[in-house]
Amino acid sequence: MSAAATKVQTKKPVQAKSAKVATKKPTKKPTKKPSKAKAAKKLDPFSGQSAEKRDIPYDEFNWKERKILLFLNGEGTGACPLFTIKEIAKGAFGNKSKAQSNSWTRNSLRRPFVSGYIKNVERGLYKISAKGRKRIAAAAA
């Protein structure tokens, strides 16, 4: 045998191409349409989720937002110090757990802040605005 013949014998035999293997195409997941209730909730003008400025009357705030506003107003004493979220949480919702009261405070500061009742003096420090003080006094009368 020649050298060329030995090389041919050492090569591995090539397999013949078999019939095309059917591959499964990935299926698209059907897109879910939001329910009518969710769609209506997104369009609610007082949901507090958008950042546009609006003038929300004091009577439209929920009890948590009112409690925070009363705490920031100094329970009617006229004091206007600066508060952190933790201090507001402890003062307004002291009977709840620390995590629960902090969560309620963070979430309940949004609408009064957007409406101008509360000012953010610097990062993490809040106080009631003059507009908020007047509105609360008018609502109490």
Q: Is residue 12 part of a domain?
A: no
Q: How far apart are CA 85 and CA 10, in angstroms?
A: 79
pLDDT per position as a tens digit, 104-137: 999 999 999 989 999 998 888 999 999 888 998 8
Contacts of 127 (CB under 8 A, 6+ apart): 72, 80, 81, 82, 83, 118, 119, 121
**Torsion over CA of 61, 65, 66 and 69, rounded to 10 degrees?**
-120
Q: Is residue 14 part of a domain?
A: no
Q: Is residue 135 part of a domain?
A: yes
Q: Is residue 122 part of a domain?
A: yes
Locate 92 and state its tokens: 């307004």
Q: Write the CATH number for 94.
A: 1.10.10.10
The secondary structure element, H or E, covering residue 53 is none
Structural domain for 98, as ranges: 55-140
How remote is the C-alpha of 122 from its chain's centroid? Answer: 21
Q: Is residue 127 part of a domain?
A: yes
Question: What total number of domains does the chain contain?
Answer: 1
Q: Is residue 68 part of a domain?
A: yes
Tokens 């020649």 -> residue: 2
Q: Is residue 32 part of a domain?
A: no
pLDDT per position as a tens digit, 20-53: 656 666 666 666 666 665 555 555 555 555 556 6
Q: How far apart are CA 136 and CA 60, in angstroms?
A: 12
pLDDT per position as a tens digit, 59-112: 899 999 999 998 998 865 556 688 999 999 999 998 889 999 999 999 999 999
Task: Please calculate the CA angle 109-54-71 and round it to the nearest 5 degrees.
Answer: 30
pTM of the model: 0.60
Locate 3 and state its tokens: 């050298």
Residue 28 vs residues 24, 33, 83: alpha-carbon distances, Å: 12, 15, 51
Q: Is residue 50 part of a domain?
A: no
